[in-house]
Each structure stands twice: as structure tokens, then as C-alpha cells.
């Protein structure tokens, strides 16, 4: 039986997000085999954003003008090349930066166009189904990529090779599935760049933009900052534990989408407030890691991963649903792309913590992050636009 078009697109989004996060549990592998320090690895992790943000902004516009398929089809070969370059990085470590940049490029091509396409393929489903399907596909891919890369790197031979080969196989399969998905987007006749109307609304500027970086800010703290804090006590299983934490964080973000739907049906602000509260609790659990030793910090990391993953998933789903409501059809991919740019600013949070922690301690960093999260949602409490553009 032929899979429905939105499911085939979901596989492509799953595959590209798998590739985006397969690098996350590799820190300890590269530390052992290449001598990379925590700062170098965190910089490599963040270099993904260098390819991502320009691609989001450029290919979001291309998608709105020329159709979704025109962007998604070539995205898959870019994703394959990114994994090939990461394989070569085992011999030439500087190529790891390039591989991450190319992974960001592939993601930037996929996320804006793919989310907009998912909405269009879900037009006969209840409102918000496209945003939830996109959020679930991406979160599941992020989580599974980290989990399987961690397991492969921990217990199978050639840890610098096998995780990336799995991703290449996935991308080839995704290309076959997505190639014939129908694209109803009509090619635009007016190619003059115009300001995006949704970005001018106070709802976007004050009710979405201030907290958006915390979507991935909380997720990356969970899987990039916390596991190395207990690596000495875990020793032989530390790589797998890193992958497990990343998977728990991100798959929780996918699984919680049905609850996020219920909260967003009341109003968008309810879901956002719930997400922020869970994030603050997650940073509280992270603070326990900084103050304890033995088995307790390991348990605290698992609890923090669940809470921070829930925060990530709720904020991602609520944000995408809000952007859909604010955006006219011919600006949807571009506006979604801007939202993704904002949420990926959060990838810098672990890097900032790695710079501050030696001076002020991890507990102070986590407490400061929780306070900033609360402030980010407080500034938008009165940001309301009386008329939202229908989608």
C-alpha cells in the first residue's frame, strides 16, 4: 500500500533531522580518538548553525516562490555529502567543522520548506495538524539519530564511520519516497522581495521571538552540557549514555505533542507557559547534577532530560502553530524559516555555559538560564494582535 504524501514527507524530515543530531553523542569518541577538548567539540556542534541560518532564510524564500519540491529534492544529496565529510573528519579533524556546516545547510533547506509543505499536505486534517506532524517528525529524527549514533559508537566497531553510514542509507531511502510527493504550491509570478507581514506583528516580536531561542537552548543543554559532567563516573558506558540522554530529550519532545495540542487549543499562551515552567524545573534538576556525586547526578540528568525535552517539544509545537496562524500562504515557508533561525540561536547556550561555568560554576549558569527563560515569556504577556491573518 502506498504511503500517504504527508507520511513520505515525514520520512524525509525524519532522515534529515537524524543527520542533524547524529553528531551529538560523538563528543567522547572524538575526545578519545582525536584528542578534542570540550570547547572544540561544542564549537563543532554549534558550527551547524553557520550552514543552517543562511539556508533557512534563502531556501524559505525559494520554496515560497518556486515550490517545496524544488528545495526538498536537492536537500537530500546535500545531507548525504555532509555525512561523507564527517566520515573523512576522522582522518582530518578540521573537516568535522565542514561536515557540520553541510548538515546545517541540509537542515536549513528542509525545515522551512518541509514544514510549510507538511501544512499544505495536511489541509484536510484538523487545524494545526501540519505543525504537529512536522514537529513530531523532526523531534523523532533528532532523538533517534542521537540514540543510534550513541549505541553504535559505544558497542560496535568503527565508531567514526558506522553512525554516518546508517544516515546515508536513510537519506537514500527518503529520496526515493519523497521524489513523487505532490507539490500544490503555485509558482509565484511576483519575485520582488517583500517584508514578511507576520514579523511586523507584536505577537511575533514580543510573544514568540523572545522565548524562541530556548526551544533548542534547553535541548542542547540537556544533551551537550549535562552528560559530560558524569562521564568520569560512567566511564565505559559514557558514550551510550550521552546518546540516551539526547534521545530521551528529543523523543520526549515528539511524544508530548498530543498534550501540546490540547494546551494550544485553549490558546497559544497556555502551551508556552506550560513549556517554560517545565524548562525551569528542568534547569532545577540540572542544578542537582552540579551539587551531587555518585549515582544521584545520573538520575538527575535523566529527570532533567525528560523535563527539558518536554519543554522543547511544547515550545516547538506551539511556536510552529502560532507561526502558521500569523502567516499568509505565500509567506509561510519564509516565516517558518525565521522562527527556526530564532530557535537555533539556542545552540549557542551550551557554548556560553562552557565559557562561564569555570568562573561562576554550573549551578549559577543553570539558575541564570531559568531566570532568563522566565523573563523571555514575561515580556510577551501583553503582546496581542486583534486580527490574525487566516491560513
pLDDT in tens, 130-181: 888 998 899 889 888 878 887 877 787 888 888 899 999 999 999 999 999 9
Q: How confident is the model at residue 121 (pLDDT cuts 50, 70, 90)?
A: very high
**Alpha helix segments (H runs only) across the chain:** 5-21, 27-34, 38-66, 69-88, 95-121, 129-155, 162-178, 202-207, 214-220, 231-234, 238-255, 257-266, 268-291, 296-326, 332-344, 349-360, 362-378
pLDDT for the residue 170: 95
pLDDT for the residue 174: 95
Mean pLDDT on 17-24 = 86
Please tell me the least confidently modeled range out of 44-58, 185-199, 351-365: 185-199
Please tell me the least confidently modeled range out of 21-30, 227-236, 248-257, 380-389: 380-389
As its CATH architecture, domain 5-180+199-378 has Up-down Bundle (1.20)
Comparison of pLDDT for 120 and 330, the residue scoring more: 120
Comparison of pLDDT for 185 and 163, the residue scoring more: 163
Q: How confident is the model at residue 279 (pLDDT cuts 50, 70, 90)?
A: very high
pLDDT for the residue 146: 79
pTM listed for this prediction? 0.82
Q: How many residues does the chain have?
A: 391
- Domain ranges for the chain: 5-180+199-378
Cβ atoms of 39 and 354 within 8 Å: the answer is yes
Mean pLDDT on 59-66 = 90
Rounded Cα distance, 18 and 106, in Å: 11
Tell me which residue has cell 540537556: 222
C-alpha cell recorded at residue 118: 507538511
Comparison of pLDDT for 90 and 382, the residue scoring more: 90
Mean pLDDT on 366-379 = 93
Task: For 248-290, give the DSSP string.
Answer: HHHHHHHHTHHHHHHHHHH-HHHHHHHHHHHHHHHHHHHHHHH
Q: Residue 180: is it exposed, middle or buried by C-beta count within 10 angstroms (0-12/13-18/19+)?
A: exposed
pLDDT for the residue 131: 84
Task: Give the CA distances from residue 76 to residues 9, 188, 337, in Å, rounded to whole numbers and listed in that order.
Answer: 12, 24, 18
C-alpha cell recorded at residue 338: 525565521
Q: How confident is the model at residue 385 (pLDDT cuts 50, 70, 90)?
A: very low
C-alpha cell recorded at residue 250: 528529543
Q: How confident is the model at residue 242 (pLDDT cuts 50, 70, 90)?
A: confident
pLDDT for the residue 100: 94
Rounded Cα distance, 61 and 17, in Å: 21
Cβ atoms of 43 and 208 within 8 Å: the answer is no
Mean pLDDT on 313-328 = 87
pLDDT for the residue 386: 41
- pLDDT for residue 65 is more than 60: yes
Q: How confident is the model at residue 383 (pLDDT cuts 50, 70, 90)?
A: low
Amino acid at each position: 500500500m502506498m504511503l500517504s504524501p504527508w507520511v513520505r514527507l515525514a520520512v524525509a524530515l525524519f532522515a534529515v533531522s537524524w543527520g542533524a543530531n547524529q553528531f551529538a553523542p560523538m563528543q567522547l569518541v572524538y575526545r578519545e580518538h582525536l584528542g578534542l577538548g570540550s570547547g572544540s567539540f561544542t564549537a563543532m556542534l554549534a558550527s551547524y548553525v553557520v550552514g543552517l541560518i543562511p539556508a533557512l532564510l534563502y531556501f524559505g524564500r525559494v520554496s515560497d516562490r518556486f515550490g517545496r519540491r524544488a528545495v526538498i529534492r536537492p536537500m537530500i544529496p546535500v545531507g548525504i555529502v555532509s555525512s561523507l565529510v564527517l566520515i573523512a573528519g576522522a582522518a582530518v579533524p578540521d573537516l568535522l567543522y565542514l561536515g557540520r556546516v553541510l548538515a546545517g545547510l541540509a537542515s536549513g533547506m528542509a525545515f522551512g520548506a518541509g514544514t510549510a509543505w507538511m501544512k499544505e499536505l495536511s489541509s484536510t486534517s484538523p487545524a494545526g495538524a501540519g505543525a504537529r506532524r512536522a514537529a513530531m517528525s523532526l523531534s523523532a529524527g533528532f532523538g533517534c539519530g542521537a540514540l543510534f549514533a550513541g549505541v553504535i559508537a559505544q558497542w560496535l566497531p568503527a565508531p567514526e564511520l558506522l553512525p554516518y553510514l546508517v544516515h546515508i542509507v536513510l537519506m537514500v531511502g527518503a529520496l526515493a519516497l519523497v521524489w513523487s510527493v505532490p507539490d500544490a504550491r503555485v509558482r509565484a509570478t511576483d519575485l520582488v522581495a517583500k517584508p514578511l507581514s507576520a514579523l511586523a506583528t507584536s505577537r511575533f516580536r514580543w510573544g514568540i521571538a523572545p522565548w524562541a531561542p530556548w526551544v533548542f537552548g534547553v535541548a542542547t543543554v540537556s544533551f551537550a552540557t549535562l552528560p559530560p559532567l558524569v562521564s568520569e563516573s560512567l566511564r565505559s558506558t559514557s558514550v551510550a549514555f550521552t546518546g540516551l540522554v539526547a534521545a530521551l530529550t528529543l523523543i520526549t519532545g515528539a511524544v508530548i505533542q498530543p498534550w501540546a495540542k490540547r494546551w494550544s487549543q485553549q490558546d497559544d499562551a497556555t502551551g508556552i507557559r506550560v513549556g517554560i515552567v517545565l524548562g525551569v524545573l528542568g534547569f532545577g534538576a540540572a542544578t542537582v547534577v552540579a551539587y551531587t556525586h555518585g549515582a544521584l547526578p545520573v538520575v538527575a540528568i535523566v529527570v532533567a532530560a525528560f523535563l527539558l525535552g518536554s519543554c522543547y517539544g511544547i515550545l516547538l509545537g506551539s511556536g510552529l502553530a502560532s507561526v502558521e496562524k500569523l502567516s499568509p500562504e505565500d509567506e509561510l515557508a519564509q516565516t517558518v524559516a525565521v522562527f527556526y533561525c530564532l530557535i537555533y540561536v539556542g545552540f549557542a547556550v551550551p557554548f556560553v555555559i562552557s565559557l562561564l561555568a569555570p568562573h561562576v560554576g554550573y549551578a549559577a549558569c543553570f539558575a541564570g538560564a531559568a531566570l532568563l527563560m522566565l523573563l523571555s515569556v514575561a515580556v510577551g504577556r501583553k503582546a496581542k494582535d486583534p486580527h490574525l491573518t487566516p491560513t
